[in-house]
Amino acid sequence: MALERTLILAKADAVVRGLAGEILARFERRGYTILGLKLMHVTPEQAKRHYAEHEGKPFFEGLVAYITGSPIVAMVIVGEDVIEGCRATIGATNPIKATPGTIRGDYGQTIGRNLVHGSDSAASAEREVAIFFRDDELFPCANVLGDWVAAK
Ligand code: IDP
Ligand code: MG
């Protein structure tokens, strides 16, 4: 077990459809701690940095347009093995393959509108948190076990 943090995005389609609160609630109900939370407009520069690993793929331009086209809700969430836990709650990338009970399995139809992002490793999480949050936008707080969770 490791105390980790992860970047979660309720992407533009989730916010437009009024599902940002539902998505946040799923992570809260797992007992994870919210360290940062904001509604924001993603710039093309932020989107390209965030999805740099996909640059050159046929869907890249559409992906950048999708994430920058309407505001998103960004969050930093902390917990034991939270990266794997959040990815399990989010479900498979293609909603048609996502298990019912996961966010994508319950609310998604297509891979191009799959509602939510979650970091896939500790290194990705640190890189991605820095793209979306300044240090003073993260708020240390007590977690569900009563332990103090630092911002870093
Ligand atoms: P992940 O979000 O489950 O980590 P990745 O493979 O990292 O999935 O892809 C990042 C995002 O790019 C996906 O969530 C989805 O929005 C988009 N995407 C991935 N593959 C495709 C595709 O084949 N067509 C359209 N969009 C895609
Ligand atoms: Mg990914």
- Assign residue 80 the CATH number of its domain: 3.30.70.141
Question: What's the gap in Å between 146 CA and the centre of ligand 2?
Answer: 31
pTM, to two decimals: 0.96
Q: Looking at residue 151, what is its pLDDT?
A: 61
Q: Which domain covers residue 8, as residue numbers?
A: 3-151
Q: 11: exposed, middle or buried (C-beta count within 10 Å: 0-12, 13-18, 19+)? A: buried
- Ligand 1 atom 5 nearest Cα: 93
Q: Looking at residue 152, what is its pLDDT?
A: 62
Q: Which ligand is nearest to the CA of 128?
A: 2
Q: Looking at residue 145, what is its pLDDT?
A: 72
Q: What percent of the chain has pLDDT over 70?
A: 99
Nearest residue to 6 via CA among 84, 98, 116: 84
Residue 1 has pLDDT above 90, yes or no: no
Catalytic site residue 117? yes
Residue 15 has pLDDT above 70, yes or no: yes
Pocket of ligand 1 (CB under 6 A): 54, 59, 63, 93, 111-112, 114, 117, 120
Which 3-state string (H, E, C) describes 41-90?
Answer: CCCHHHHHHHCHHHCCCCCHHHHHHHHHCCCEEEEEEEEECHHHHHHHHH
Residue 70 has pLDDT above 80, yes or no: yes
Query: How far apart (Å, rounded) are the C-alpha atoms in residues 11 and 66?
Result: 8
Per the structure, how many domains does the chain have?
Answer: 1
User: What would the pLDDT profile of 84-100 be if each residue is shown by its tens digit?
Assistant: 999 999 999 999 999 99
